[in-house]
Amino acid sequence: MVHTGACVAALMGQGGSKKYRLTWKWLQFFKNDRDRRDLVTCGSAAGIAAAFRAPVGGVLFALEEMASWWRGALLWRAFFTTAVVAIVLRALIDFCFTGKCGLFGTGGLIMFDVTSANVTYHLVDVPPVFLLGMIGGILGSLYNFLLEKVLRIYSLINEKGSAYKILLACSISIFTSCLLFGLPWLASCQTCPIDATEACPTIGRSGNYKKFQCPPNHYNDLASLIFNTNDDAIKNLFSKNTDAEFHLSSIFIFFVTCFFLSIISYGIVAPTGLFIPVILIGASYGRLVGMLIGSRSNLNHGLFAVLGSASLLGGSMRMTVSLCVIILELTNNLLLLPLIMLVLLVSKTIADGFNRNIYDLIMKLKGFPYLKAHAEPYMRQLTVGNVVTGPLQLFNGIEKVSNIVHVLRTTRHNGFPVIDEPLLSVSPVLFGLVLRAHLIMLLKKKAFLLTPVPTGTDDFNQFTAVDFAKKGLGNGDKIEDIELTEEEMEMFVDLHPFTNASPYTVVETMSLAKAFILFREVGLRHLLVIPKFSGRLPVVGILTRHDFMPEHILGMHPSLINRWKRLRIQFPCWDKIF
Amino acid sequence: MVHTGACVAALMGQGGSKKYRLTWKWLQFFKNDRDRRDLVTCGSAAGIAAAFRAPVGGVLFALEEMASWWRGALLWRAFFTTAVVAIVLRALIDFCFTGKCGLFGTGGLIMFDVTSANVTYHLVDVPPVFLLGMIGGILGSLYNFLLEKVLRIYSLINEKGSAYKILLACSISIFTSCLLFGLPWLASCQTCPIDATEACPTIGRSGNYKKFQCPPNHYNDLASLIFNTNDDAIKNLFSKNTDAEFHLSSIFIFFVTCFFLSIISYGIVAPTGLFIPVILIGASYGRLVGMLIGSRSNLNHGLFAVLGSASLLGGSMRMTVSLCVIILELTNNLLLLPLIMLVLLVSKTIADGFNRNIYDLIMKLKGFPYLKAHAEPYMRQLTVGNVVTGPLQLFNGIEKVSNIVHVLRTTRHNGFPVIDEPLLSVSPVLFGLVLRAHLIMLLKKKAFLLTPVPTGTDDFNQFTAVDFAKKGLGNGDKIEDIELTEEEMEMFVDLHPFTNASPYTVVETMSLAKAFILFREVGLRHLLVIPKFSGRLPVVGILTRHDFMPEHILGMHPSLINRWKRLRIQFPCWDKIF
């Protein structure tokens, strides 16, 4: 759902899809970097809001996990989106109340309602909850560790082709089915409780007490967990009325099975989530702890299951406020909030000691150049000049067409500095930064001059704002597609009107950490590096996202790898003074 | 409580108070700009968490309303703070359960619990709720408007001296008391309900049905509202069991009284809040609407009161997510969430059309140079060079003591550019930015040179990190306190080791909007402006927070005042491309 929401939003940000004729004129206003980013963030917030019926949790998830660059306006937009989601969802539930829409809306607005549970806990309950959080943190980081290893293997297999992908998915699917069908044979049959509120035993799709292989009036507790939907299993585990329903051994088997199955299921071509499996694993883990502690605690097993889910979510996803609100909105139990906060604190703190959160690990594995929110300590030891690489490609304010074509064909850079040779000065001056996409547009429209003399703003009239709008992914023109005659190649282009005349710049002696903060907080794509002393060229290089990636920096300065952990903060520490 | 939390945190950020001997060695680590900001933010989050027993709401309040510059690490810190608050609060409530601590903890963790209310609403309830939100938005902006006018008058009175302050507070206090005692006479006596769950009528401090002037077995409903604590009054208004308790006229009188009393009470020297009064006004307003709509809606009057509070809070404070969570944590009614989000959306949207939120208005009135989160449209029409003012004070890398003293005495600037005259170049080069506080420290320690020749790092040994730590408010040394002999005045100081060698810079032709984004997002104090073409000086000026204030900019460019509303976005719009 999160992914779906983000995809729909991204499609809107591209102005609809031309291929499928889903395009509207007004969507053009979103055709730029900033609005597209905002749309994707709001889309994912809406996804969470719809999937978990947690609108506020959705906003906070987008804030904490999605948005790499947060603006005040974005908070309002995300809130607007999820509010609309909440209202529509509530209206549809209302509309479907009579059962017109199948199973939709039967759960109401709260998925795993535990309001009815009597929450009385005292100071003596804090140590077991603390312990639960600690083990949850360790389990969460173990989950991340194993998932990363499995994904690494899967990506090797998936690279070999579609046949391998399908084969992998099929074998995992068959293995899962066999395991899930075989496992309940391990559990012994239980007598149906006399005061059961629902039918016992049952065979069909729904129902708490599954018959499986058991004689009449008996049920198999492991089968009851496995042959239910995930949602119902979680509801059962969270419920306070099921303290006697499950045996310790069944819960243990269920926990171990879920833990490993969810790890090997993620990363195959079929869409499998992370959130609901982790909640389920956590719920069974919490139940297990609750059963082991037994009557020494005032909390019932259902509440332990909720706290177990919180601890595993905290240990794996490492979010704080958003998890807190999502759990609150899922379970509707405000009185448990202090304990949930405690568990999240403990599990996140412990898990952070082992590895990074699961989304970071996956993004790193997929090779996305995602910048962390903080500068690494070793960045303080380097200047911007230390990491700028490669031959710099410059354009003059009025540049020959053949030069532009040559540079665009031989490099993959997306931005180029433009310099001017002023009449009054000896050294050239930095005029600005021109984007690859805009250069290609200029070449395509053939806005050329015969002589290298500026003509004023005449060129502008050929262009409309749409020409400079951000193109959809893969829809941008390529330099290879543009054909120019020999004559045109000898002509000139006046780049001045199309150049960003005031790009953000940093001096080459600035510490990398400070440049990183600028780059990250302002959400830049390119950062120009200018020399400290005016020399021949007015620009030293361009920093892009890739230049700030730890792999790139440590690759250039391998001596830092072992040294940076010993480094201390410089004196006086300019990072903290503004 | 918010203020108290922030004050405690600020005190810790100053390293404790020397005056009252409350100082610890480890607090020195917080003695810098960034940590002090973070501490104050966390302190206010803790204040909200404790005051409203709303830990998650506290984090979000700090995020949305307090922090002008939000960092990922801050979210975790604020969450940690409020989690500790929640746990301690819960432990204390547990400890005080037996009534050892007076009235503390009697309310439990949720202040205005409406869980028991039966929430069934359908699509037909949306229009009245929409209307409620609209009127709430108008009322909220009216509240802000009137409050600002009253505060403006009060500030004139308060300026005249302490006697006037006390006189004002006393007269407001006497007026309030007389009014509140007189009003209940307007209401007629009601017969006590037969099925009342509590004593009726009562006379003492607590109890729902106040006797006042009524005969036995009767109560005065207006007195019941007025002679209760605010908390109990809100609880009564939110409750679903009191539909028949209050008369329309009593609620109306109470609403109008509260509305105007809370406006004239804020701003006197006695500490009066904004949050609880607005909730109370909103609750009575919501009840009023609920009564007028009557049986045409499925919602009971208590829920209308909750929604009324939400609409007035949304119309006055203009927060979204944090208000949503705070209301959720106050009332513990998750099922109402879609309606609360709807009300907040509507009321904020409408109120934003009239004026700014109440905190912004108060900050503007008090003259705090608080920068808005967005750049104003007219800023796109100006370059940085247009707003830099004043004679620029420069220092050389090795500067004469008398020059430094003279500049520090004659200006109030907090940062000064340092330039160097390199041997190989004709024009001077910008070396960095030195802070006033550090210059004063250098003068105080008398780290002087006899000749203008750099000596390397010898000077460094005299200083420790503590010398460059941020001083507490009002504790900084002043230039007037430093006494220097004639001989010392003729000596030199090597500023290089104490200069921030890589300040953030912008080129003078950058649009003011872009410079504003840099300044605001990175959270700067000073922003150096460098020339486009290398001329005589390598720096054009320094931008501080004051230079970005609308008053300053519009003062310099009065032609913009009427023009900027008509301005369109420039083509191509560089603000949205990164």
Contact call for B500 and A577, based on CB within 8 A: yes
- Structure confidence at residue A12 (pLDDT): 65
How far apart, in whole angstroms, are the C-alpha atoms of residue A304 and residue A283? 8
Q: Which of the listed residues B459, B485, B501 is the one where a domain comes to its end?
A: B501
Q: Within 13 A of A497's CA, how many CA atoms are on the CB side?
A: 18
Is the distance from CB of A5 to CB of A55 less than 8 angstroms?
A: no
- Cα distance from A72 to chain B (closest Cα, Å)? 7
Query: Which residues in chain B are closer than 8 Å to A577, comparing Cβ atoms?
Result: 32-34, 435, 470, 500, 525
Query: Which residues in chain A are closer than 8 Å to B90, comparing Cβ atoms?
Result: 338
Give the nearest chain A residue to B125 (CA atoms): A91
CA angle centred on A185, ends A183 and A187, rounded to 5°: 90
pLDDT at B538 exceeding the cut of 60: yes
pLDDT digits (tens, 9 = 90+) for B102-126: 666 556 667 777 766 566 777 778 8
How many beta-carbon pairs below 8 A join chains A and B? 233
Looking at per-residue pLDDT, the higher value among B33 and A493 belongs to A493
- Cα distance from B366 to chain A (closest Cα, Å)? 23
pLDDT at B356 exceeding the cut of 80: yes
B319 and B461 housed in the same domain: no
How far apart, in whole angstroms, are the C-alpha atoms of residue A399 and residue A494? 7
Is the distance from CB of B351 to CB of B141 less than 8 angstroms?
A: yes
CA angle centred on A246, ends A241 and A252, rounded to 5°: 130
Q: Within 13 A of A23's CA, how many CA atoms are on the CB side?
A: 12
Task: Tell me the backbone φ, ψ of residue A368, rounded to 5 degrees.
Answer: -75, 135
How far apart, in whole angstroms, are the C-alpha atoms of residue A310 and residue A326? 10
- Structure confidence at residue A69 (pLDDT): 65
SS3 track for B108-127 = CCCCCCCCCCCCCCCHHHHH
- Cα dihedral A154, A158, A164, A167, rounded to 10, equals 50
Contact call for B87 and A341, based on CB within 8 A: yes
Query: CA nearest B38: which of B88, B83, B85, B76?
Result: B76
pLDDT digits (tens, 9 = 90+) for B493-502: 888 878 887 7
Task: Identify the band that residue B16 occupies on the pLDDT scale cut at 50, 70 and 90.
Answer: low
What value of ipTM does the predicted structure carry? 0.80
Task: Identify the band that residue B518 occupies on the pLDDT scale cut at 50, 70 and 90.
Answer: confident
The mean predicted confidence, pLDDT, of chain B is 79
Contact call for B341 and A64, based on CB within 8 A: no
Q: Residue B573: which CATH number?
A: 3.90.1280
Contact call for B334 and A109, based on CB within 8 A: yes
Contact call for A123 and B511, based on CB within 8 A: no
A10 within some domain: yes
- Structure confidence at residue B534 (pLDDT): 64
B253 and B362 housed in the same domain: yes
B88 within some domain: yes
B373 and B338 housed in the same domain: no
A463 within some domain: yes
pLDDT digits (tens, 9 = 90+) for B284-323: 999 999 888 877 777 788 888 999 999 999 999 888 888 8
The range of the structural domain enclosing residue A549 comes to 369-388+508-578
Give the nearest chain B residue to A38 (CA atoms): B576
Give the nearest partner residue to A334 out of B73, B329, B574, using CB atoms.
B329
Average pLDDT score over residue span B538-555: 79
B107 within some domain: no
A178 and A272 housed in the same domain: yes
pLDDT at B573 exceeding the cut of 50: no
Contact call for B465 and A571, based on CB within 8 A: yes
- Structure confidence at residue B420 (pLDDT): 82
Query: Which residues in chain A are closer than 8 Å to B435, comparing Cβ atoms?
Result: 577
Length of chain A: 578
- Structure confidence at residue A348 (pLDDT): 92
Q: Which residue in B376, B379, B380, B502 has the most chain A C-beta atoms within 10 A of its own C-beta, making it the best mutation to test that interface?
A: B502
B287 and B408 housed in the same domain: no
Query: CA nearest A396: which of A339, A356, A454, A353?
Result: A454
How far apart, in whole angstroms, are the C-alpha atoms of residue B476 and residue B468? 11
Contact call for A328 and B334, based on CB within 8 A: yes
B286 and B374 housed in the same domain: no
Number of domains in chain B: 4
- Structure confidence at residue B136 (pLDDT): 94
Q: Which own/partner contact pairs does B560-564 have at CB distance under 8 Å and 24+ positions apart?
A: B560/B378, B560/B381, B560/B382, B563/B378, B564/B376, B564/B377, B564/B378, B564/B381
Q: Beta strand B415-420 with B395-396: parallel, antiparallel or unpaired?
A: parallel
Tokens of B45: 């989050």
Give the nearest partner residue to A572 out of B89, B324, B468, using CB atoms.
B468
Give the nearest partner residue to A115 out of B89, B115, B521, using CB atoms.
B115
Give the nearest partner residue to B32 out of A345, A435, A577, using CB atoms.
A577
Give the nearest chain A residue to B83 (CA atoms): A341
A47 and A157 housed in the same domain: no
Contact call for A123 and B91, based on CB within 8 A: yes
B163 and B302 housed in the same domain: yes
- Structure confidence at residue A577 (pLDDT): 46
- Structure confidence at residue A578 (pLDDT): 43
A130 and A77 housed in the same domain: no
Q: Which residue in B32, B61, B96, B321 has the most chain A C-beta atoms within 10 A of its own C-beta, making it the best mutation to test that interface?
A: B321
Calculate the alpha carbon distances from B48 to A170, A342, B45 in Å. Answer: 53, 18, 5
Q: CB neighbours of B82 closer than 8 A, spacing ≥ 6?
A: A341, B45, B46, B48, B49, B55, B56, B58, B59
How far apart, in whole angstroms, are the C-alpha atoms of residue A77 and residue B345? 10
Contact call for B345 and A80, based on CB within 8 A: yes
Average pLDDT score over residue span B137-163: 91
Amino acid at A386: N
Q: Which own/partner contact pairs does B339-342 have at CB distance under 8 Å and 24+ positions apart?
A: B339/B121, B339/B125, B339/B129, B339/B303, B339/B307, B340/B306, B340/B307, B340/B310, B341/A55, B341/A79, B341/A82, B341/A83, B341/A86, B341/A87, B342/A83, B342/A87, B342/B126, B342/B129, B342/B130, B342/B133
For A81-102, b/e burial (b = at least 16 CB within 10 A) is bbbbbbbebbeebbeeeeeeee
- Structure confidence at residue B571 (pLDDT): 39
Contact call for A334 and B332, based on CB within 8 A: yes
Q: Residue B444: which CATH number?
A: 3.10.580
A236 within some domain: yes
Q: Which of the listed residues B476, B501, B526 is the one where a domain comes to its end?
A: B501
Give the nearest partner residue to A509 out of B59, B320, B501, using CB atoms.
B501
Q: Residue B144: which CATH number?
A: 1.10.3080.10
Query: Which residues in chain A are closer than 8 Å to B509, comparing Cβ atoms?
Result: 501-502
How far apart, in whole angstroms, are the C-alpha atoms of residue B228 and residue B213? 16
B110 within some domain: no
Regions of chain A short of the pLDDT cut 50: 564-578
Percent of chain B at pLDDT above 70?
A: 78
- Structure confidence at residue B348 (pLDDT): 92
Is the distance from CB of A86 to CB of A110 less than 8 angstroms?
A: no
The total of other beta-carbon atoms located within 10 Å of residue A449's CB is 16
B473 within some domain: yes
pLDDT at B282 exceeding the cut of 90: yes
Tokens of A46: 């809406």
Is the distance from CB of B345 to CB of A80 less than 8 angstroms?
A: yes
- Cα distance from B184 to chain A (closest Cα, Å)? 37
Contact call for A321 and B59, based on CB within 8 A: yes
- Structure confidence at residue B501 (pLDDT): 78
How far apart, in whole angstroms, are the C-alpha atoms of residue A503 and residue B512? 12
Burial zone of A162 (CB within 10 Å; 0-12 exposed, 13-18 middle, 19+ buried): exposed
Query: CA nearest B86: which of A492, A334, A27?
Result: A334
Rounded to an integer, what is the distance from CA B256 to the centroid of its chain?
A: 27
Tokens of A114: 């535990």
Q: Which of the listed residues B501, B532, B551 is the one where a domain comes to its end?
A: B501
A498 and A516 housed in the same domain: no
- Structure confidence at residue B260 (pLDDT): 92
B405 and B356 housed in the same domain: no
The total of other beta-carbon atoms located within 10 Å of residue B270's CB is 14
B448 and B574 housed in the same domain: no
Q: Which residue in A90, A121, A514 has the most chain B C-beta atoms within 10 A of its own C-beta, making it the best mutation to test that interface?
A: A90
B101 within some domain: no
Percent of chain B at pLDDT above 90?
A: 14
Burial zone of A146 (CB within 10 Å; 0-12 exposed, 13-18 middle, 19+ buried): middle
Contact call for A76 and B526, based on CB within 8 A: no
Query: CA nearest A343: which of A143, A140, A144, A136?
Result: A136
Task: Tell me the backbone φ, ψ of residue A448, rounded to 5 degrees.
Answer: -105, 160
Query: Which residues in chain B are closer than 8 Å to A91, comparing Cβ atoms?
Result: 123, 126
Average pLDDT score over residue span B477-497: 80
Q: Is A188 left (phi over 0), alpha (psi -120 to 50) or beta?
A: beta
